Structure 1
Amino acid sequence: MGLKDSSGHPFTSSAAHSTARASVANLRQRPNARVLIVGGGINGVGTFRDLALQGVDVALVERGDYCQGASGASSHMIHGGIRYLENGEFRLVRESVVERNRLLRIAPHYVKPLQTTIPIFSTFSGVLAAPLRFLTHKQHGKPKERGAFLIKLGLSLYDSFSRDGGSVPRHQFRGRKRALAELPLLHPGVKYTATYFDASVHNPERLTLDVLQDGEKAGAAKAEGSARASNYLSLASVKSASAGSSTVELRDELTGEVFDFTADIIINTTGAWVDLTNQAMGAASSFMGGTKGSHIVLDHPGLLAACNGREIFFEHTDGRIVLIYPMGDRVLVGTTDVDADMSEDAVCTDGEIDYFFDLIGHVFPDIAVNRQQIVYTFSGVRPLPRHDATQPGFVSRDYRIERRAPEAGGSGAVVLSLVGGKWTTFRALAEHLSNDVLAELGMARKVSTAKLAIGGGAGFPDSDAGIQQWIKAHMNGSRDADRVAGLLTRYGTRAEDVIRYLDGGPDNLLRSTRELSVRELEFMAAHEQIGHLVDVLVRRTSLAFRGLVTGELLNEVADTLAEPLGWDASERAAEIHHAEEVLKRYHGVEVHSLVA
């Protein structure tokens, strides 16, 4: 039994998963749609939601789990991209700042303000090199660190993009004395700090699920089955083309079964795999040139305390912009930016770990770190455009849409391929893609998503006092404040649906963790398209991210999921082994379940 590919897409077993999946059945029963989206990262899912809200008959397929690729391997930031200013990407930065502010309002359950501090070690360094970097998009010679003058200029411009409806404070500068008073473990050679606010998303996978379910709900409200989506379903090939449409072969990655599906427009949002997907559709392209970014997660109370609740965002000695920031009781450190080899696994290497330890020492020289403190690692391939000789750090983070027209005579579907795209701008990007699709279909936009709350962000308490009141209102004799707070964190106000389900029958917390119960896992199996045990650990919860997966937990979650997902004893054992292999191979986590 082996893994399918370098994104952790799972094994296929002809015997496994005998229970028919409703998500696949919905597509097989009516094997056509006006629009087929291929790729279930945040941009594909965002476009699915937008089109469903317009009343478009749309389907989405994802070959692995939702948010499994680059969308789930991000730095967990929702940010304007201050460093893109020196690349001259002013349009992207402006759009990103606007979208950051917007997501703070429409997805407050997952997107939170993030205080960010830049340690600065010089005043005028980089002033002469910066124009050359700006004009050539290359690093010339040894990197010149950006001094206070350049950073002040950039942050002032950054602030100006927030003027219309900005929801975060403007930046502040501190001299050495005040900087070390706020962050006493900073390198004593620091001359200034600059502090500003961006935002973070601690649960990108769950935000993606919320966006997806919004789309499904919108489709159900307009016409039964007009918005359908399934994970673990891949596009294998194009079977045929007719006037204005194409028929593709879809493959169920859990059973190996195949069936045909017809669409008038195909949207390729497969990220770094866009070219390979186009090749599968019989029209090879060379749009992509992704770079790999890795991160580590540390259980390190000393480093956590040193950050003092804020992200430390700075330029390392090689000119790379890197970050250290607290996520709950863990610390995230990242990221690298190297050309990706698509034939190899995207994993965090020993060399990258050494690089992360070095960058921590650059700003916190008195804090020792070691490999035993790493609880999780992850890597992804950014869906960047082909960049030839351009250095990875200077490749544009903006996006574009490539249109492939039908063949001569009008045979075949229109294919729209997304090149680029980042987490922060997913809503605006989805709106752009949807507008292109609406133009192709001769339809007008009916609904704007600009102010539309996402999933569990609707009615989310807007203060700490409101959150405590919500928690108190949903407690009962068997559900204490910690349990309710965990549900609110995981689902936002959609936790009310989960709580109703929990109260519908006898329920018990798992022995191996107080963060999950039997009925909550059954709810996930029924409503969140779980294909594999590892989906729960990595994407439906943050247990793996925080280094909380044990052999006992693997066994207990597998036991609970076996009945609703139709696993027999051998399938249950296979799922445990698969979870162990994914965690070790892609996340540096060794768990031994003692399953034979």
Structure 2
Amino acid sequence: MTDSTTESAATQDVRSDVQAILDRPTAQVLVIGGGINGVGTFRDLALQGVDVILVERSDFISGASAASSHMIHGGVRYLENGEFRLVRESVQERNRLLRLAPHYVKPLPTTIPIFSTFSGILSAPLRLLTHKQAGKPKERGALLIKLGLTGYDSFSRDGGTVPRHEFKGHKKSMQKFPKLRDSVKYTARYYDAAVENPERLALDIIGDGRAAAKSGAAAQARSVNYVEAIGDSDGGVLLRDTVSGTEFTVKADVIVNTSGPWTDITNKALGKVTSFMGGTKGSHIVLDNQELYDACAGGEIFFENNDGRIVLIYPLNGRVLVGTTDIDADPNEPSVTTEEEVDYFFELVSHVFPTIAVDRSQIVYRYSGIRPLPKHDDTAPGFVSRDYRIEQTVFAGDKKTPVLSLVGGKWTTWRALSEHLTNETLGLLKKTRTVSTEDLQIGGGVGFPTTDSGSRAWVSEHSAGLSAERTAQLLKRYGTKAAGVIAYITERTDDAPLASLPDYSTAEIDYLIAKEYVVHLTDVVLRRTIVAFIGGLTQPVFDELSVIVGKQLGWSAAQLADERTRAVKDLDFFHGLKLEAPALTPATSENLTDAK
């Protein structure tokens, strides 16, 4: 049922990325797991000239990394857990990503509604010292929040790029947020950052790693999705291409396990039983509710619900993201948003905006994932450390091969974490770092214009015959990598908009398929675009995109029908999207045959 385990009826030919590994099935480092920390480590190792292979059992950024709250944040609430190192690093990395990936990471004004002055003062020390909650949770009052934000600001002094926090009283708060619960006493406003399209940022990171090898490094950087690690064989890691079923062995000097919540499962497959992980489930819903969107006044509402859980209401891409839960979860089971969680989200909206009606008809998308948290025994989920560590074991197939397992990690700290993991790997290889990523811009962030005048100049220089409006759209969507998209489009001369999805053209979708490792139909609708996320995946859109993907990948009519059926099941089960996979018309079947 899941993307990672269901074989497709797609073309059985050996994919070029798989063939690149089959041609030379050895590397200095094999990275298993293509979430944000895996791809970040792949990039960093490639930049150091390391011969590295990255494999991901499903699509890149389709597991835990696809279930984020789309935030790059310092974790103000982690102060309460005493995780000062993590908060400092998170704030520094937030500031850094605002500079290094300005095409996707944007400043995010965040408002905390506060309903008391002193609440939580007595229980805060207990939470800090014991990671437990005595009695019924109490909302944090203004004094406690003021102390936390003052400490939070102190971590931004070095290279700070966002304003410091500010407090407003009841009157000014209600002027800014007239739909807030009228018992609000204060609001506190501070800044973090949003990553509007995290999957696209990750694709840029992978591209940087692959480009590093092409730019003159002696080693190769090879990456492939839909390839899983299933065991050991002849002193190497046995891999399986889930598309074709082909099995092959890769030998490496170091194995890096960045499988996230599935780290222990991967280690077991490699012959080593570990118990590092203890993840929790976090779910979200996306609402099409203009009143709620407007009530947020252009920023995130971040607050504590009655149960003590920190939650968010967040205007994003024209919709409203509401999340998240924190429930112990089994990584062997698929993670889905339950109806009980939906009820919980509606309750928290009414807690802050009591006059705004929300219902299930407004949900355009839902998603859920398991956080890659460490094993936490009886520690309450909300108090489990969000910090990370690296565990070293040995590979069962060859005791001389070390295995580095990542425990923990989150979107905000992926660069620093990758640097740490790369440094440990380099030490095992007896190599030294030659390239720093601290000030290295990412993908389409290289040369990205951050002013209106700069954007106009870029558009004027790179339009290549496209309209200024269309060029600006592509710049926003891909950063300066839009230049490559534009070149691809203009070579094909036709940039006519799709009938069902006028923001895209056939040539642009073809580019995504040809250049961005697309294997399945769901890769396009869920991760190469945000069509599904914003509720734009109507039946006509699904049908039109299906044919484009099928033609580009050379599928037969039967293969396309299988892909459509598979996509419909997954989109319903994981995201609540109701689509159909009707039989293809004779004309469509003929077109697909001609395309092959």
Would you call these one fold, judging by a TM-score over 0.5?
A: yes
Choose the corresponding residue for 1:68, options 62, 86, 89: 62
- 1:378 aligns to 2:367 (yes or no): yes
Q: What are the within-5 Å matches in structure 2 for residues 288-327 of structure 1?
A: 288-327=277-316
Q: State the secondary structure of the residue aligned to 2:526.
A: helix
Q: CA deviation at 1:101?
A: 0.1
Instruction: Look up the match of 1:197.
Output: 191
Question: How far apart, CA to CA, are the structure 1 residues paired with 2:110 and 2:79?
Answer: 17
Structure 1's unaligned 5+ residue stretches are 242-246
- 1:463 aligns to 2:451 (yes or no): yes
Question: How far apart, CA to CA, are the structure 2 residues paired with 1:222 and 1:440?
Answer: 24
CA contact (8 A) 2:95 2:161 kept: yes
Per-residue CA deviation, residues 275-314 of structure 1 (Å, 9 max, x unaligned), is: 0000000001000000000000001000000001010000
Instruction: Look up the match of 1:586.
Output: 574
Alpha-carbon spacing, 1:265–1:325, altered in 2? closer, same or farther (3 Å): same
Choose the corresponding residue for 1:140, options 112, 134, 139: 134
Instruction: Look up the match of 1:222.
Output: 216
- 1:100 aligns to 2:90 (yes or no): no
Per-residue CA deviation, residues 293-340 of structure 1 (Å, 9 max, x unaligned), is: 000000100000000101000000000000001012100000000000
Choose the corresponding residue for 2:470, options 478, 483, 499: 483
Question: How far apart, CA to CA, are the structure 2 residues paired with 1:147 and 1:582?
Answer: 43
Q: State the secondary structure of the residue aligned to 1:123.
A: coil
Alpha-carbon spacing, 1:329–1:73, altered in 2? closer, same or farther (3 Å): same
Per-residue CA deviation, residues 15-69 of structure 1 (Å, 9 max, x unaligned), is: 5313431111111110010100000000000000000000001000000000001
CA contact (8 A) 2:539 2:580 kept: yes
Question: How far apart, CA to CA, are the structure 1 residues paired with 2:399 and 2:299?
Answer: 55
Instruction: Give % identity.
Output: 57
TM-score between both structures, scaled by the size of structure 1: 0.96
Q: What are the within-5 Å matches in structure 2 for residues 390-409 of structure 1?
A: 390-405=379-394
CA contact (8 A) 2:253 2:429 kept: no
Per-residue CA deviation, residues 154-199 of structure 1 (Å, 9 max, x unaligned), is: 0000000000110000000000000001111110000000000000
- 1:56 aligns to 2:59 (yes or no): no
Per-residue CA deviation, residues 250-286 of structure 1 (Å, 9 max, x unaligned), is: 1001111111111110000000000000000000100
Q: Give, as a single letter, the amino acid of the residue that structure 1 aligns with 2:353.
A: F
CA contact (8 A) 1:41 1:67 kept: yes
Question: How far apart, CA to CA, are the structure 2 residues paired with 1:338 and 1:407?
Answer: 33
Question: How far apart, CA to CA, are the structure 2 residues paired with 1:67 and 1:92?
Answer: 23
Instruction: Look up the match of 1:426.
Output: 414
Q: CA deviation at 1:595?
A: 3.2
Structure 2's unaligned 5+ residue stretches are 585-596
Q: Give, as a single letter, the amino acid of the residue that structure 2 aligns with 1:444.
A: T
Alpha-carbon spacing, 1:225–1:501, altered in 2? closer, same or farther (3 Å): farther
Question: How far apart, CA to CA, are the structure 1 residues paired with 2:566 and 2:306?
Answer: 39
Instruction: Look up the match of 1:251.
Output: 240
Q: State the secondary structure of the residue aligned to 1:411.
A: strand
CA contact (8 A) 1:18 1:566 kept: no
Instruction: Look up the match of 2:538.
Output: 550
CA contact (8 A) 2:35 2:60 kept: yes
Q: Give, as a single letter, the amino acid of the residue that structure 1 aligns with 2:6.
A: F
- 1:277 aligns to 2:266 (yes or no): yes
Choose the corresponding residue for 1:12, options 4, 7, 10: 7
Instruction: Look up the match of 1:244.
Output: none
Instruction: Look up the match of 1:495.
Output: 482
CA contact (8 A) 2:12 2:243 kept: no
Q: CA deviation at 1:551?
A: 1.9
Aligned length: 583
Question: How far apart, CA to CA, are the structure 2 residues paired with 1:532 and 1:585?
Answer: 17
Question: How far apart, CA to CA, are the structure 2 residues paired with 1:38 and 1:9?
Answer: 13
Question: How far apart, CA to CA, are the structure 1 residues paired with 2:560 and 2:179?
Answer: 48
CA contact (8 A) 2:13 2:244 kept: no
CA contact (8 A) 2:365 2:575 kept: yes
Choose the corresponding residue for 2:40, options 24, 36, 46: 46
Q: CA deviation at 1:594?
A: 2.7
Choose the corresponding residue for 1:526, options 514, 517, 523: 514
Q: State the secondary structure of the residue aligned to 2:234.
A: strand
Alpha-carbon spacing, 1:67–1:390, altered in 2? closer, same or farther (3 Å): same
Instruction: Look up the match of 1:114.
Output: 108
